[in-house]
Amino acid sequence: MKNHKGWLAILIVVISLIIDQVIKINVKTSMSLGESIRITDWFYINFIENNGMAWGMTFFNKMVLSLFRLVAISLIGYYLYGQIKKNARLRYVVCLALILAGAFGNMVDSMFYGLIFNASSPYYVSYFVPFGQGYSSFLLGKVVDMFYFPLIVATWPDWFPFWGGEEFVFFSPVFNYADACVSVGVISMLLFCRKDLDDLSTSFSTKRNKKNPVTEEDK
């Protein structure tokens, strides 16, 4: 059973990475930066790039962010391996594998896209270049986003504070398949893996208490 869960986790990560990269490379090599393709009124393929945080957010220097994500991916992978060895529940393993796949999918962009592509532009379509002759260096590549779901487009009432009369869009972030993997993994974990998360919290508390035992004076 442990072997089956391990192979399933590997399969989820590999397939998710392939799907993610096929979509990103196709978008990057067939659309100019900022180009938008209407699929329906509530779904567009909208090509943008960002420094790599989920949903296009940016709070850190790019190199710091990439190094932080490498550490986070390593910790998630190590934890997933440990859970498989402990024969954790299948649903928990699947959620962790989705989170790992999504995190690693965006990391691939940061690691290699700056080395193998020329810079994207609104005026031309990007293309492959000889390895190392791209627009940036290792860990400094930009992440490709493309899915845009403006489910509701409306205008705030004039009387509404601050935003009165301005356009309102729900849902406005542009994201990619890797972001979706992380979101599905996290949401599914919160909904269906409460027992596993409680066990993790209990285990963490037990280890902390062993390192810092309560003495008579503390009591």
- Which of the residues are catalytic? 145, 179
Length in residues, the chain:
219
**Residue 21: closest CA among 139, 143, 118, 130:** 143
Q: Cis peptide before 171, with omega less than 30 degrees from 0?
A: yes
How far apart (Å, rounded) are the C-alpha atoms in residues 162 and 219? 52
Alpha carbon distances (Å) from 157 to 163, 164, 209: 8, 5, 54
Q: Which two tokens stand for residue 12?
A: 């989820």
Label the pairing between strands 143-148 and 36-40: unpaired
How far apart (Å, rounded) are the C-alpha atoms in residues 49 and 34? 9
Number of DSSP helices (H) and strands (E) in the chain, helices first: 6, 6
**Residue 63: closest CA among 49, 54, 52:** 52
